[in-house]
Amino acid sequence: MGSEEKLEALETMGRILIFTPLTMGLLNFIMEIWGKGPDLGSEAGYSGVLMVNTGIITLLYASVHRFREGVRQAESGKS
């Protein structure tokens, strides 16, 4: 498994970590409007924020590594 494949996997994981809590929160909000939503406590919001933060950090990590690989390739003259 090459470095590029690992970075793509990290980006995919980061996107999943960001959009899963947002999607579930949106679905919960829609169900709450109809009065049929589950009564989630503050723990659900806290864990959702942690997941989104983890996704953002993962995407930043992958971005920094992509940038560093690009700089290394530019210095060595590869394209």
Cβ atoms of residues 55 and 10 within 8 Å: no
Q: Which amino acid, residue 41?
A: G
Q: pLDDT value at position 61?
A: 95
Q: How much is the pTM?
A: 0.80
Q: pLDDT value at position 72?
A: 87
Spans of the chain, pLDDT less than 50:
none
> What distance in Å separates the CA atoms of residue 52 and residue 55, rounded to the nearest whole number?
5
Q: 62: how many CB neighbours lie within 10 A of its CB?
A: 19
> What distance in Å separates the CA atoms of residue 65 and residue 7, rounded to the nearest whole number?
8
What is the DSSP secondary structure assignment for residue 1, as one 8-state letter? -
Q: Mean pLDDT over all residues of the chain?
A: 87
For 54, residues 6+ apart whose C-beta sits below 8 A from its C-beta are: 17
